[in-house]
Amino acid sequence: MRVLTWLHGPAFATGAVAVIVNRSGLGPLWYTGAGLLLFGLIARWLSTRAQRPRSGAEPAPVAIGLPLAGRWTALNGPETKVPSHTHALAQTYAIDLVLRPAPDPVWFLPIARRPDAYPAFGAPLLAPADARVVMAADGQRDHLTRTSLPGLLYLFLEGFVRSLGRPRHLLGNHVVLDLGDGVHAVYAHARRGSLRVAPGDRVVAGQPLAECGNSGNSSEPHLHFQLMDGPDIATAHGLRFTWRYQDGDGVARDGVPADGSTIAA
C-alpha cells in the first residue's frame, strides 16, 4: 500500500494535465489522462482504506503526557468524532491544539496574518514520554495564516495540491518519536529552524523537541498530534491515547478533551 500512497498523487496530477492540454477530443491522450485520473482516485481510496483501524478488539488507549505546557484548546479531536481527521496518514485519532486568545477569524480583511501574530507560534513542543527520535524534518517555511474566508478557500485548494505529493508537504516540519511497544508519536507543523532533536536521539518526558509553527497544511499556528502503530505514516494505523489533564474549571481528568475544551497539565 505504500506504493499506492506514493503513486496516487503523481498519477492524478499527470492525468489532469493530460486531459487539460488535450485538444484532439477523444483520443489516446484523453484516454491516458482519464485512466491516470481514475487510477489516482482508486489508489487514494485503497491506501486510505488500508489505514483504517484494524478489525478485532481495539487496544486500550496509550497513557502519555501532554505535549505542551500552558492552557490550550482542543480542536478536531477523537472525543468529538472518529475519524477526527481522516484515516489517511494514520490520522484516525489525531488532535489539533491551539492557544487562545488569538486574532479572531474574519470574513475578508485582513486576508492573511503573519504567524507570529498568534500566541501559539514559538511555544515549545514537549516529549510525552521517554522516547527515541526516528524522524525530524525541518526546512519548510512558516506561511501566512488562512483564517479569512478567501484564506480558507485557498487552504482547501492548497491542501488538495499538497496531498498529491509526499506526506511531508502536509505535515510541514515534523518530528516522529518511538515511544516503545510499537507506539509512535507525530508532531506536525513545527516552526522552521526550531527542531532541537535529530534521528537517533534519546529524549525524556517533558524535553523540548521543537516549537509550534505554521508549516505545511495549516490554517494558523497549532500542534497536530497523533499516535500510530508504526514509524511510517504512510502505512501505519492510528492509535487512541489518553492524557491526565485539568479542564477549564481546574478539574483533573483522564482521557481526551472534546473540541473547544481547554486543557492544561
pTM listed for this prediction: 0.93
Question: Stretch 203-225: mean pLDDT, rounded?
Answer: 97
Whether 131 and 177 share a structural domain: yes
Mean pLDDT over the full length of the chain: 92
Residue 56 in any domain: the answer is no
Q: Are residues 131 and 241 in the same domain?
A: yes
Are residues 70 and 43 part of one domain? no
Report yes or no on 251 lying in a domain: yes
pLDDT at 6: 67
Shared-domain flag, residues 46 and 82: no
pLDDT confidence of residue 34 = 83
pLDDT at 54: 83
pLDDT at 181 over 90: yes
Do 193 and 136 lie in one domain? The reply is: yes
Residues 82 and 39 in one domain: no
Average confidence (pLDDT) over 241-263: 93
What is the DSSP code string of the chain? -HHHHHHHHHHHHHHHHHHHH--SSSSHHHHHHHHHHHHHHHHHHHHHHHTSPPSSSPPPPEE---SS-S-EEEES-TTT-SSSS-SGGG-TT-EEEE-SS-PPP-SSSSS---GGGSTTTTPEEE-SSSEEEEEEE-----PPP--SHHHHHHHHHHHHHHHTS-THHHH-EEEEEEEETTEEEEEEEEPTT-----TT-EE-TT-EEEEB---SS-SSS-EEEEEESSS-TTT--EE-EEEEEE-TTS-EEEE-PPTT-EEB-
Residue 156, domain extent: 62-263
Number of domains in the chain: 2
